[in-house]
Amino acid sequence: MNRISVTVDGVAYQDDVEPRLLLVHYLRDRLGLTGTPIGCDTGSCGACTVELDGRSVKSCSVLAVQADGGEVTTVQGLGAPTGGLDSLQRAFHEKHALQCGYCTPGMIMAARDLLRENPDPTPDEVRHGLEGNLCRCTGYQNIVQAVLAAAREGQEART
Amino acid sequence: MIPAAFDYRRPESVDEAVAALAEAGEDAKVLAGGQSLLPMLRLRLAFPELLVDVGRIDEMRGVREEEDALVIGAMTTHHDVMADPLVRTHAGLLAAATETVADPAVRNRGTLGGSLAHADPAADLPAVVLALDGELVATGPRGRRTIPARDFFTDYLQSALNPDEVLVEVRIPKAGNWGFRYEKFHRAAQAWAAVGVAVLVRTDGGRIAEARIGLTNMGPTPVRAAAAEAALAGAEGPEDVARAAQAAAEGTRPSSDLWGSAEYREHMARVLTRRAVLAAAGPA
């Protein structure tokens, strides 16, 4: 067992974990943060994407011990503490960017990383920025629209 | 899918990492960004007893410039490599190819050194570093040694690294005024390359003076397309290039799998070599 200290969605945790425990299992099974789903479990689909120290990562491809000392944000850490949606979450809702919703947490976390690097992306840049995240329902059209809408809102907020 | 149990060490210096590996013997593996190793552990294709995580060793991260070469710390992530101004200036081929590796979340964790040490012939960067005439610097109990890229990749997933050595940095000779292109054919955005072609071209008075070509996934190791390189010397115009590119698959040993037969790969190597050389040489 290895002792880790990690901050998840603003809450500090200390836990003893087996080195082989994956970050996604730590989040879901130990902390009960089931907003981050497990999709393919092979690093391909992006459903389990979270932020680790400010960058998007696939939490099925990170060990919990590698997150020791780090700061993790899951989709559950977005928005206001009272339950309000953040701009990406709201845009996904308003643009109907989901059907079954399984890919949505990962899409939103990947889109956050994309907009941080490129606050004003073209539709093509959005598609490339999300190429590590698979959606089997929507055909991606409304997901791209949602990310562009959130980007516009971010631009307006800055001007 | 849950990996088999292993012990975990996280050294803070190269010396500590080397000591941990020496102590553990052959059953230890170095963990870099983990984007290839962790999927292998989960699928139980690898069973190390100890992982030595070198991801927090500061001296193995970052890019610095020497007179004739760029020195890239092995733990520099793909994201940081492709954004680095020194890499973009002096090793544009590496920056361009790194942009095509997997997807953004994988590039945030995966590292240049990890990708090279994993020695997967389907990975993009081994062929690129081979084309760039890069050198790989390893540290072990007997000190440091420098391994030319052309001696580094020994077989499928096998490198010249000894089990007690850590790949610490990658040296890339400054490219100077070479045109470059990485052409990759894959079936899906984030899939492995069915075939990839990394090209550097130096032109002189409208002719190709020298070409260097590294091939991805055309055998158990990345390989140079030596016959095409030789045929390109002195080439002038698209017809000469097309003729020279016919030699791109000579001496290769591609495998057949569900992404394509060996013959198909040989064909794609010729097509992609022609495209990459024309793009690298610039408008005629």
> What domains appear along chain A, each with residue ranges and CATH number?
2-77 (3.10.20.30), 87-158 (1.10.150.120)
Closest CA to B219 of B182, B256, B190: B256
Among the listed residues B218, B245, B215, the one whose alpha carbon sits nearest the alpha carbon of residue B232: B245
Q: Does B51 touch chain A (CB under 8 A)?
A: yes
Q: pLDDT at position B284, please?
A: 45
The CATH number fitting domain B62-172, selected from 3.30.465.10, 2.40.50.140, 3.10.129.10, 1.10.1060.10: 3.30.465.10
End-to-end Cα, chain B, rounded Å:
53
| Tens place of pLDDT per residue across chain B (284 aa) | 799 999 999 999 999 999 999 999 889 999 999 999 999 999 999 899 999 999 999 999 999 999 999 999 999 999 999 999 999 999 999 999 999 999 999 999 999 999 999 999 999 999 999 999 999 999 999 999 999 999 999 999 999 999 999 999 999 999 778 999 999 998 887 788 999 999 999 999 889 999 999 999 999 999 999 999 999 999 999 999 999 999 999 999 999 998 899 999 999 999 999 999 999 998 64
Beta strands in B104-194 (DSSP E): 135-140, 143-148, 153-155, 158-159, 166-173, 179-185
For chain A, which residues score pLDDT lower than 50? none
Give CA angle at A40 (B51, B48), nearest 5°.
15
Show residues of chain B in contact with A26, CB under 8 Å.
Answer: none
What chain A residue is nearest to B51 in terms of C-alpha separation? Answer: A19
* Residue B146 CB-half CA count within 13 A: 8
d(CA B197, CA A60): 31
pLDDT at residue B107, as a whole number: 97
Query: What residue ranges of chain B are covered by domains with CATH 3.30.43.10?
Result: 7-51
The answer to whether A118 touches A125, Cβ cutoff 8 Å, is: yes
State the DSSP string of B13-54: SHHHHHHHHHHHGGGEEEESS-TTHHHHHHTTS---SEEEE-
Q: What is the per-residue pLDDT for A37?
A: 97
End-to-end CA distance of chain A: give it in Å, rounded. 50
Q: Give residues 104 to 163 of B whose Cβ lies within 8 Å of A.
A: 104-106, 108-109
CA angle, corner B110, sides to A106 and A112, nearest 5? Answer: 30
Nearest Cα residue in chain B from A22 = B2
* Residue A95, beta-bridge partner list: none
Residue A72: the pLDDT is: 98
Q: Which CATH class is domain B7-51?
A: alpha beta
List alpha helices for A8-84, DSSP H: 23-25
pLDDT for residue B187 = 83
Query: Nearest-CA distance from B63 to chain A in Å?
Result: 20
Residues on chain A touching B109 (C-beta within 8 angstroms): 57-58, 61-62
CATH number of the B180-281 domain = 3.30.390.50
Give how far the C-alpha of residue B116 lies from the chain's centroid of Cα atoms, to the nearest Å: 5
Pairing relationship of beta strands B50-53 and B7-9 according to DSSP bridges: parallel
Partners of A53 in the β-ladder: none
Write out the two tokens for A36. Answer: 């981050």
CB B167 within 8 A of CB B136: yes
